[in-house]
Amino acid sequence: MAGIAFGTCCSTISSTSNFRTSWLKLETSTHRGGTILKKPNNVRTLAIRAEVNFVSADEAKELIAEGYTVIDVRDKSQYDRAHIKSCYHVPLFIENQDNDIGTIVKRTVHNNFSGLFFGLPFTKPNPEFVQSVKGQFSPQSKLLLVCQEGLRSAAAASRLEQAGFQDIACITSGLQKVKPGAFDAVGSTELQDAGKAGLITVQGKISAVLGTVLVCAYLFITFFPDQAEKLLQLAPTG
């Protein structure tokens, strides 16, 4: 008598290769007493891939027109400065307000350096990220994930793939590379500048002013050397 054992395994996602895989297992065996069901030793694997689609800003606009929903995974501070109109905000990282001694020390160091100079909040992974997305969208939904640099959206896409989402796209290099006016945006600044904050923005303005002054001085000396020499002679020598 021939016995047939048939088993299936649910679809899973590989975080290293970014594709979903299904397994189909089939084995036959012979047993004198009749048909039996046993665990298969030989496995035939069928791989079905559903890779994340990394697109440019122009391609992202086309996807939105095709019905993709935009999910902004940045932290609240960057989202508030500027975000794509009508997008959903589900942050991959949230502000870390824990009060254990280790976190307090790390937060103090962070706020005195990265927070002060770059305006970066002290954050931790959002434990409700996947559940928040699953609560609003089905695994068959077409999702366009965006962040400022492209790293968080890629990480978020990997997590959603593991949760069974099959149609995900991300903007390569994030919103920092989009051109002004590329998307209908809401906020106090341009999308590409939403990641800029802290003293670095003041330094940037000072550098721009100094650069303009130096360029003007160079042009003045180049085209009006006689007048420039007279001005230098009037300057106090100490």
3-state class (DSSP) for residue 109: helix
Please say if 147 is a catalytic residue: yes
Residue pair 191/74 in contact (Cβ under 8 Å)? The answer is no
Within 10 Å of residue 238's Cβ, how many Cβ atoms?
3
Using alpha carbons, list the distances in angstroms from residue 183 to 59, 143, 149, 153: 12, 16, 16, 18
The alpha carbons of the chain give a radius of gyration, in whole angstroms, of: 28
Considering 9, 147, 170, 216, which one is annotated as catalytic? Answer: 147
User: What stretch of H or E contains 167?
Assistant: strand 167-171
Within 10 Å of residue 123's Cβ, how many Cβ atoms?
16
Q: Which residues carry out catalysis?
A: 147
